[in-house]
Amino acid sequence: MSKTTRIVIVGGGIAGLLLATRLGNTLGRSGRAEITLIDKSPTHIWKPMLHTIAAGTRDVQQQQVIYLAHARDHGFNYQPGEMEGLDRTARFVKLGALHSKSGEVVMGPRTVGYDVLILALGSRANDFGTPGVLDHCHFIDSQAQADAFNEALRVRIFQSVVNKSPLRVSIVGAGATGVELAAELSRLLEVASSYGDPHIRSRLNLTLYESGPRILAAFPPTVSASSQAQLQHIGFTVRTGTRVTAAEPDGLRLGDGSLQPADLMVWAAGVKAPDFLGKLEGIASNRSGQIAIKPTLQTQDDDTLFALGDCSTLTLEGNERPLAPTAQVATQQAQHLAKHLPAWLDGGALPEFAFHDFGSLVSLSDYNAFGTLGQFGFFRGGFIKGRFAQLSHAMLYRQHQQALHGFGKSMALWTAERINGLVQPKIRLI
Ligand SMILES: Cc1cc2nc3c(=O)[nH]c(=O)nc-3n(C[C@H](O)[C@H](O)[C@H](O)COP(=O)(O)OP(=O)(O)OC[C@H]3O[C@@H](n4cnc5c(N)ncnc54)[C@H](O)[C@@H]3O)c2cc1C
């Protein structure tokens, strides 16, 4: 392996940042390779907590990892920028112009050369071309979108307090994002009722729309049924088997032609990869633009190009369906590459990825959590709920923090968060 092998990772999410950290700590620090992480955002956030940022029940400042600082501490470089294309012959990534928040061009379009390229660009909800969705619905696939939703939410709450009017929220898509957001909004307004308007929670009128026959289709039926019962118990309407055909300024148009009025609409249905990925020349992808990869996590036609996490699709031998786009899959794929890439760079073989299903969990804020224990251990496949399930869900994030920062720093971050929780308001007020 040449000393200067350039490994470029695009996307510093759950998979990309974990991989950059591990490879930086090993190959980067020893000078065996130059590791560069590219992300369009300056900070990383654990995506499964975005609904709490959107609701304002968690302080984003305490949860984000600043790439530049993390890169310095872990032996890799950080390049801000949004990938827009790829030249596989000349081996460079094309980055678009970088803009400041006020729209000023900070840096023009650039290219970044690589020897090995790893794409970990994640995914976003899929509007399936439904008219009006991009114009009238919020998405919560990034920190910026979660912030934008929170801003609009606080305005609507304020109006509801002043006018004593209902606060009508519609969420389309009852996967983990939609279900967890619904519960978090209820919790937000329960806490908010202690800040001057004790009736604000009772004015929340929330409907969750799902075109499939049950909510949380990727979870076992027991988790779906328990979660739906919990949402209905806290007063929400769950409409399964209901297709949304358009979003309009004042509400959602349904398959039966009716218009369901809403003050705030969130689109949380479907999954798709960033648009340009599906158009990369010579790279096979599915209808959602996710790159088709081999069990070694390499693309079908180019062994120097890897893809991980939500932006990729992989059906393992013996399985009928591809791996689900989850934090668990993204984490395990990053761990797999971090472990085997160094030997592969030295000419060794790359073992095939094997997925270990440790179960799936959905958290309904402080109310409850439901899940299954996965296919390992004594209680394999067992159904869990309540405090144990809530703790297990919280542990997923703590494990991610520990993988990024090590035990000492992640404990310090957790302690700081607990102390802040004692002295700061529990919800975002400004
Ligand atoms: C609200 C919510 C709740 C969820 N809850 C759960 C849960 O409970 N359990 C679970 O397993 N999964 C959950 N998920 C799904 C989980 O978050 C994803 O499966 C996981 O984040 C995928 O990891 P990733 O590394 O592939 O992508 P991400 O973590 O999404 O990271 C992608 C990164 O790529 C960057 N990027 C994107 N496009 C570009 C570009 N063109 N150029 C440069 N950078 C780019 C982004 O800024 C981001 O940093 C949830 C998702 C959401 C939104």
Confidence check: pLDDT of 379 > 70: no
Pocket mutation for ligand 1, best pick of 271, 326, 397, 398 (most atoms within 8 Å of C-beta): 326
Residue whose structure tokens are 């390779």: 33
- In 3D, which of 155, 156, 122 has the Cα closest to residue 141? 122
Mean pLDDT of 281-289: 94
**Which protein residue's CA is at the shortest distance from atom 7 of ligand 1?**
48
Per the CB < 8 A criterion, the answer to whether 309 and 122 are in contact is yes
Read off the pLDDT of residues 120-130 as tens digits, 9 standing for 90 and up. 999 999 999 99
Read off the pLDDT of residues 80-120 as tens digits, 9 standing for 90 and up. 999 999 999 999 999 999 998 899 999 999 999 999 999 99
> What tokens were used for 348?
């060794």
What pLDDT score does 290 carry? 97
Write out the CATH class of domain 5-123+272-345.
Answer: alpha beta
CA of 394 to the centre of ligand 1 (A): 17
Read off the pLDDT of residues 235-263 as tens digits, 9 standing for 90 and up. 999 999 999 999 999 999 999 999 999 99
What pLDDT score does 322 carry? 96
Q: Is-same-fold flag (5-123+272-345; 133-267)?
A: yes
Mean pLDDT of 64-82: 97
What pLDDT score does 358 carry? 86
Question: Rounded to whole angstroms, how far apart are CA atoms 258 and 268?
Answer: 21
What pLDDT score does 1 carry? 47
**Which protein residue's CA is at the shortest distance from atom 27 of ligand 1?**
122
In which band, very low, low, confident or very high, does the pLDDT at 375 lie, cut at 50, 70 and 90?
A: low
**Which protein residue's CA is at the shortest distance from atom 31 of ligand 1?**
13
Confidence check: pLDDT of 377 > 60: no
Residue whose structure tokens are 């992480």: 37
Report residues whose beta carbon is within 6 angstroms of any ligand 1 atom.
Answer: 10-16, 38-41, 44, 47-48, 50-51, 82-83, 120-122, 140-141, 176-177, 180, 274, 309-311, 325-328, 330
Kindly give the number of the ligand 1 atom that is closest to the alpha carbon of 95: 42
Per the CB < 8 A criterion, the answer to whether 53 and 41 are in contact is no
Question: Rounded to whole angstroms, how far apart are CA atoms 255 and 232?
Answer: 23
Please report which residue ranges of 12-142 form alpha helices under DSSP H.
Answer: 14-23, 29-30, 50-55, 60-63, 67-73, 133-136
Kindly give the number of the ligand 1 atom that is closest to the alpha carbon of 81: 43
> Which of 215-229, 312-326, 369-383 bottoms out in mean pLDDT, i.e. has the lowest?
369-383
CA of 310 to the centre of ligand 1 (A): 7
DSSP 13: S
> What tokens were used for 223?
């988790």
CA of 311 to the centre of ligand 1 (A): 9
Q: What percent of the chain has pLDDT over 90?
A: 88
The domains of the chain are located at: 5-123+272-345, 133-267, 360-423
What is the pTM assigned to this prediction?
Answer: 0.95
Kindly give the number of the ligand 1 atom that is closest to the alpha carbon of 41: 47
In which band, very low, low, confident or very high, does the pLDDT at 430 lie, cut at 50, 70 and 90?
A: confident
Query: Beta strand pairing status for 77-80 and 65-66?
Result: unpaired
> What tokens were used for 249?
């300024």
CA of 12 to the centre of ligand 1 (A): 9
What pLDDT score does 3 carry? 60
Read off the pLDDT of residues 152-182 as tens digits, 9 standing for 90 and up. 999 999 999 999 999 999 999 999 999 999 9
CA-to-CA separations, 210 to 8, 101, 421, in angstroms, rounded: 39, 35, 35
Kindly give the number of the ligand 1 atom that is closest to the alpha carbon of 38: 43
What pLDDT score does 352 carry? 97
Mean pLDDT of the chain: 94
Confidence check: pLDDT of 301 > 80: yes
Mean pLDDT of 390-395: 91
Kindly give the number of the ligand 1 atom that is closest to the alpha carbon of 362: 8
Q: Any idea which fold 133-267 has?
A: FAD/NAD(P)-binding domain (3.50.50)
Q: What are phi and psi of 356, to 5 degrees?
A: -110, 110
Confidence check: pLDDT of 373 > 90: no
Kindly give the interhelix angle for 14-23 and 386-423, rounded to the nearest 10 degrees.
70
CA of 326 to the centre of ligand 1 (A): 8
Mean pLDDT of 207-224: 95
Mean pLDDT of 340-352: 96
Question: Rounded to whole angstroms, how far apart are CA atoms 125 and 267?
Answer: 7
CA-to-CA separations, 73 to 65, 156, 229, 398, 406, in angstroms, rounded: 12, 42, 46, 19, 12
What pLDDT score does 101 carry? 83
Mean pLDDT of 49-78: 96
Kindly give the number of the ligand 1 atom that is closest to the alpha carbon of 393: 8
Q: Helix or strand or coil: residue 288?
A: coil
Q: Helix or strand or coil: residue 388?
A: helix
